[in-house]
Amino acid sequence: MKPVRTRIAPSPTGYLHLGTARTALYSWAYARHHGGQFVLRIEDTDVARSTQESTEQILDAMRWLGLDYDEGPIHQMSRLERYREVAEQLIAAGHAYRCWCTPEELDAMREAQRARGDKTRYDGRWRPAPGKQLPPPPAGVQPVVRLANPLHGAVSWNDLVKGPITIANEEIDDLVILRSDGVPTYNFAVVVDDWDMRITHVYRGDEHINNTPWQINILRAIAGPDVEPPRYGHCPIILGEDGLKLSKRRGAVSVTAYRELGYLPEAMLNYLARLGWSHGDDEIFTRAQMVQWFDGSHLARSPAQWDPAKLAWVNAQWMKRGDDARLAALVQEQLAGRGVAGADAATLARMAALFKDRCTTLVELADWAAMLYLPVAPRAQDLAEHVGEAVKPALRALRERLAEVAWEAAPIAAAVKAVLAEHGLKMPQLAPALRVLVCGRAQTPSIDAVLALFARDVVLQRLQHV
């Protein structure tokens, strides 16, 4: 048995797409499950569209998700020599050939095929064949290199997701493997890399199913007809809520966007994993459980639908389970983004403990935390409803007591009780008024614990003008 080696091979032409993150997760979990290795490869051969910024965003998203890799990032553009070397070997062995067709010629070829009602494909005019006389290479044209795809037979593989697939060689043509500038095409670079990097299992989006027969043929040309290709698993696309392909126009498609919306990485992983894979009825599972359970089985064959409400629910579950100190650190980052510097970590941790149950995202938790540091703006309606003349004397008395008590939940609670008794009020009359004035909202957890989170001065100041 070869050691399991998987990879994820994003193209740095944008953010890490949710679909890519999902196959990255499957590849990572599969490798970890088998004690194998996971490789990160940056497929940057689309020179015009690849950017360093995108590479950094992808690495950042991988780090955030905690998808650690054992090798990489390996950039394809640093391996050009290797692709050229393999292309030369294929030419020498008769598995590839140079083609001097100009773009105009190829256009004319396709035009004529369309006019005849044929499928458009390269017609093999530069493909060597016994007894065939090739024209002399035209001057001034840089050739491309094409695969001499087998003319007959079929390519079959047992897809890890879709089951057995067979595609006839007649269906596919002699694709370009090296462009005229010496840069490999995706299908060629991917095969050389998967081979050199000893990749055993490939999980990727099913838009690549049609590329797979070429890739298997290229691999056979490189390594011989009996070579064992990687096992391929093609995961169905993720559909948007409207049943169409998830796309930028219809909401966030990048991992980074969800980070900014206040989602936790463990919730993202959990949700992405479930989106196309199941383990019984389990909905909430840890990274360790995923590694333990993910053996490549139970992958869905039909497309999953992106469900923001479910993602929010999963995130809320992880917020509830979140460690207070960690949530505090994450909220601190959120607050820093809102101009609140130096929010006290211990206070934020106590705040997280009190509020995390009622928050779907870190942004919501930070919305709560902000009341400790930034002015609040109670709604006129809440003021009218909860801060009537009847409670104002009690609020003033409480303010005086609060100026004196030890600043902790229990003495604060005692002060509130004493004022209630003095003024013949009940908690449901006083607490909402306090909440509205101090927190800016009429509903919060236990008011004494909440007040204790604030700096005393802030509370006194917010009760000043009643």
- The CA distance from 10 to 21, in Å, is 9
Q: Look at residue 197 and give its three-state secondary structure.
A: coil
84 vs 80: CA distance, rounded Å: 6
Residue whose CB is less far from ligand GLU, 208 or 259: 208
Contact characters 148-187, ligand GLU, x per CB under 6 A: ----------------------------------------
Min. distance of Cβ 88 from ligand GLU in angstroms? 23
Catalytic residue among 2, 119, 248, 392: 248
The rounded distance, in Å, linking the Cα atoms of 237 and 214 is 21
**Does position 76 bind ligand GLU by CB under 6 A?**
no
CB of residue 457 to ligand GLU, shortest distance in Å: 54
Please report how close the Cβ of residue 66 comes to ligand GLU at its closest, in angstroms: 20
Residue 245 CB, shortest distance to ligand GLU, in Å, is 14
b/e map 86-122, b = 16+ CB within 10 Å:
bbeebbeeebbbbbbbeeeeeeebbeeeeeeeeeeeb
162 among known catalytic residues: no
Other Cβ atoms closer than 10 A to 175: 19
Give the residue from 311, 316, 308, 362 showing the smallest Cα distance to 337.
362
Nearer to ligand GLU, 50 or 361 (CB): 50
Distance in angstroms (rounded) separating the CA atoms of residues 455 and 277 = 48
Tell me how many residues contact ligand GLU (CB under 6 A): 7
Please list every residue from 199 through 218 that binds ligand GLU, using CB under 6 A: 204, 208
User: Residues 31-60 vs ligand GLU: string with x where CB under 6 A?
Assistant: ------------x-----------------
Closest by alpha carbon to 200, among 41, 6, 36, 24?
A: 6
| Residue 232 vs 355, nearer CB to ligand GLU | 232
The residue written with tokens 């394809």 in the block is 76
Kindly indicate which of the ranges 5-13, 254-262, 367-375, 441-449 contains the residues binding ligand GLU, using the contact rule CB under 6 A: 5-13
Q: Which residues belong to the active site? A: 248
Name the site residues for ligand GLU (rule: CB under 6 A).
9-11, 43, 190, 204, 208
